[in-house]
Amino acid sequence: MAINNLNLNLNLGQGGSTPSKPWPRFNSMVYGPITLGAGLPGYSPAKPVASRGPRNWNAALRSYIYLEDFLRTSPGWKSDMIAVAEAKSADGTSTRGPAHAVTPAILEQEIKHILDQTEEREDRFMEIIDQHDGEGALNYWAGMLNLDGHSQPKTFLMMHAARHIGEHVVMCLKDHFGGLRPSQICPWIVPMIDPPATPAFPAGHALQSYLISAALADALPGLPSSEAAHPLFALAERVSDNRVIAGLHFRMDNEAGRDVALACHQGLKSMPSWQSLIADVRAELPHYS
């Protein structure tokens, strides 16, 4: 018989053949008097929920609170983001969209761009592998800002919240637009890694990367940058470009992801909970505020 879980709750002093010879009971149902909140200083059932439980719980899980706020405060977000993602010329022809919706000339340009970028694969190999997983990609923002999850929990919370909001938005848009991956259209494009089993348009890494960078840039206005480039947005662009170099996305997938991310960021800034989070992040990183 296989035992997967061995739970030994030892209640010493209960049981045994005689009171003078107690022995341990396993999973005993014999309890002494129980007082609710006993041993918790200052505990009161009347206190708000926020005053109880872990002070800083898992950032990746707590981030869903901000996703719920975003969906509640921006009820028309999906139709707004669909309009942002696609671009059309004056005659109604798609100039940016899923591969099946653009003209053959635009699609040919996109394919040629991917093939031209394959020369970068060797130099960026480790980056592409690291960033393929969402959690791995977050390490690049943490490294840029020299973050420590214990010292800057609110900053990690902001990154996770932006990532999960971006993931929700992009999956809904992918479902709306569809769109084949580059390698499904052109056999000359051999991806470095297996493409995700999702439609290509818009690009998820681009949308999430730019949303993370926009959120951090807004919270940390004192972060050093040059006139030519902001380091956070340069990182988002590099992560996005790596997906094109890997043969997983068209350039227009990334452009749509970027524009949707910046539009989503405007929605985040209207949320009181997000403004409070911005203040917390600035308090954690005062040298960038």
pLDDT tens digits, 147-201: 987 889 999 999 999 999 999 999 999 999 999 999 999 999 999 999 999 999 9
Structure tokens at 251: 């350039």
Tell me which amino acid residue 153 is. P
Q: Domain count of the chain?
A: 1
CA gap 271, 170 in Å, rounded: 20
Residue 89 lies in a domain: yes
Residue 223 lies in a domain: yes
CA gap 60, 135 in Å, rounded: 10
Name the residue among 54, 66, 50, 182 with its Cα closest to residue 114: 182
Residue 21 lies in a domain: no
The rounded Cα 215 to chain-centroid distance in angstroms is 12
Higher pLDDT among residues 165 and 52, named by residue: 165
The residue range of the domain holding 205 is 59-288
Residue 166 lies in a domain: yes
CA gap 22, 20 in Å, rounded: 6
Residue 229 lies in a domain: yes
When pLDDT is cut at 50, 70 and 90, the band that residue 3 belongs to is very low
Q: At residue 110, does pLDDT exceed 80? A: yes
Structure tokens at 172: 């809904």
Residue 46 lies in a domain: no
172 to 137, 164, 207, 210, 261: CA distances (angstroms): 21, 12, 12, 17, 14
Q: What is the CATH number of the domain that holds 177?
A: 1.20.144.10
Residue 30 lies in a domain: no
For residues 8 and 28, the answer to whether their CB atoms sit within 8 Å is no
For tokens 């390490």, what's the residue?
139
Tell me which amino acid residue 102 is. V
Q: Which residues contact 3 (CB under 8 A, 6 or more apart)?
A: none
Residue 222 lies in a domain: yes
Q: Return the top range by mean pLDDT from 23-27, 145-149, 271-275.
A: 271-275
